[in-house]
Structures are given as structure tokens and as C-alpha cells.
Amino acid sequence: MDSAEQYYEAKAALEWQIELGADESIGDVPLDRYELVVEVPKPKAAANSKAKPKAAAAPIPIVEVDAVAVAKAAAAGAADLAGLEAALTAFELCEVKLGARKTVFADGNPQARVMIITEAPDRDEDREGKPFVGQAGVLLDRMLAAIGMGRDGPDPASAVYIANIMPWRPPQNRDPSADEIAMMHPFVTRHIELAAPDVIVLMGNNPCQTMLGRKGISRMRGIWEEVLGRPALPMFHPAYLLRSPHAKREAWADLLELKARLT
């Protein structure tokens, strides 16, 4: 058989295989792929075969910080209100601070006979760095003016001094957690000691929870308590009065009770 015949015979065989569905040419000899041996390259020998393997690095110990103890030490080290504000501003262990714009320390007359301790800042207070701004602040000023008092008065007898339980705005205006309140308690306690008011007003549930260990402002309002040896009067927060105008009657009674206590 000459080369031309071999060519056409091979071509015919190829066409026949294509008609049968063959689409790939692999080889002339069958290959059993189950018996294939894959050679895995061995790692290169170290230059110094006698060198000892390196010991694993020792884990770095995690040191837990007692945030409450740090807060107590920072607050106790403050000799005056300016020092306390600096210590509070420098305190970095409360995560609420990370999302706040400003530290809301206090407002009013530090020599005032009355110290109002209120809740955490809201959006307006966080923006301005002062407690009781916005609608709640306007209502508070009207309430105080009704009994001849105000936050801006130079006379300590008719002025008030305002501070927050939490100096930073919590996310979404949520209530501070128990751990957060525990961290802030030493600062609030030292704040009261340095301001030395004659009377304390606890405005809202969080101040009552922090300073009295319980809450339920609707039951507690109007009933005198004691905080650090000073008379303390729980009252509704002005923001609550804006939402619940029917409670203004009880708030007025509490204001008259406060006025009578100061005379």
C-alpha cells in the first residue's frame, strides 16, 4: 500500500470515529489513570541539617483592665472641678465615648445650693457639649424660673448646677448599661463631693439607678432620699414631661417641694 492509500484510509478511519462522537485524540496506547503515581516534590533540605527547629513564640498574655478601679483612681485624684473634668475627658475605657462628639461635663453655677443630676446627653447636648439644651432645656429653664431659680444665676441661693450621669451620648440614645454606670459612678460621686450642694435633684431613672441603686421614677418622684449624706429628690426628666404632659402636675408639686426645702 502506497502512501496515498494509507493517507485516505487513515482519513476515512478518522472521519468514521468523528461520526461516532470522538472529539479528542489522546494516544495510541490505553492509559489506566487509576494507576498513575503523582510525585510530590520533597521540601528542600535545610542548609544546616543539624539546626534545631525554632521554638513557637510564646502567646502574648491578655491583661484585663479593671475599668471601675481606674475610674475610682482618676476621680479620687481630682482636687477640683477642673481637674475632675480633665480626668473624665481623659478616661478612655468607656466605649460610649468612641461614638460621642463631646464630653458633656456640667453647666450652671458650681456654687449653687441645688445640683441637678440628669441622664445621658441627647443629640443636641452632644453637639453643644452642655446638658439640657433643645426643647428639654427650654422646659427645664421655665420650670426653674417658676420657682425663682435658674442655671445662670450668679446667686448660689437661686442658681442650679447641672451634671450628667453619663457624659457621652450612647448610640441611638439608649440607656447606659450596668457596666457603663459602674464606671461613671466614681466620677459622679466625686462631682458631688467637689460641688458640695445642699440639695440634689435626681432627674430621671438613670440617676436614681446610679445613686440610689433602684429605679421606677413614677413611684420614686416626690419622695426625699439621701445621697452622700445630702437630701435628694427624684423628679421627672423634662424630656418625659414633653412626651407626657399629664405628668406636669406632679412635676409642679415636686418643684414646690424643692422650693420649700431651700427656705
Q: List, for residues 230-247, the tens digit of each pLDDT value.
A: 999 999 999 999 999 999
Cβ(149)–Cβ(159) under 8 Å? yes
pLDDT of residue 23: 67
Does residue 70 carry a pLDDT above 70?
yes
- 18 lies in some domain: no
Collect all residues with Cβ–Cβ distance below 8 Å to 247 and sequence separation of at least 6. 236, 240, 241
Does residue 252 carry a pLDDT above 80?
yes
pLDDT of residue 11: 75
- 49 lies in some domain: no
Q: Give 180's DSSP letter.
A: H
Mean pLDDT of 245-258: 96
Count the domains in the chain: 1
Mean pLDDT of 103-125: 95
Task: Output the nine-digit C-alpha cell for 228.
Answer: 452622700
Of 125 and 34, the one with more pLDDT: 125
Q: List, for residues 18-49, the tens digit of each pLDDT value.
A: 777 776 666 666 666 666 555 666 666 555 55
Of the chain, the percentage scoring pLDDT greater than 90 comes to 71
Cβ-in-10-Å burial (0-12, 13-18, 19+) of 157 comes to middle
Report the amino acid identity of residue 106.
A
Of the chain, the percentage scoring pLDDT greater than 70 comes to 80
- 202 lies in some domain: yes
The 106-108 sheet, strands edge to edge: 106-108, 160-164, 114-118, 199-203, 230-235, 225-227
Separation in Å, CA 160 to CA 97, 130, 145, 148, 223: 26, 14, 11, 11, 20
Q: Which residue has the cell 464606671?
A: 183
- 188 lies in some domain: yes
Q: List, for residues 171-207, the tens digit of each pLDDT value.
A: 988 999 999 999 999 999 999 999 999 999 999 999 9
Q: What is the CATH number of the domain that holds 148?
A: 3.40.470.10
- 221 lies in some domain: yes
- 31 lies in some domain: no
Cβ(204)–Cβ(90) under 8 Å? no
pLDDT of residue 119: 93
What's the whole-number average pLDDT of the chain?
88
> For the whole prediction, is pTM greater than 0.85?
no
Angle of helix 67-76 versus helix 81-90 axis, rounded to 10: 150
- 16 lies in some domain: no
Mean pLDDT of 97-126: 95
Cβ atoms within 10 Å, residue 6: 10
Mean pLDDT of 215-227: 95
Domain that holds residue 102: 68-262
Give the three-state DSSP class for 160.
strand
- 11 lies in some domain: no
Does residue 14 carry a pLDDT above 80?
no
Q: What is the rounded CA–CA span in Å between residue 68 and residue 179?
A: 9
pLDDT of residue 152: 83
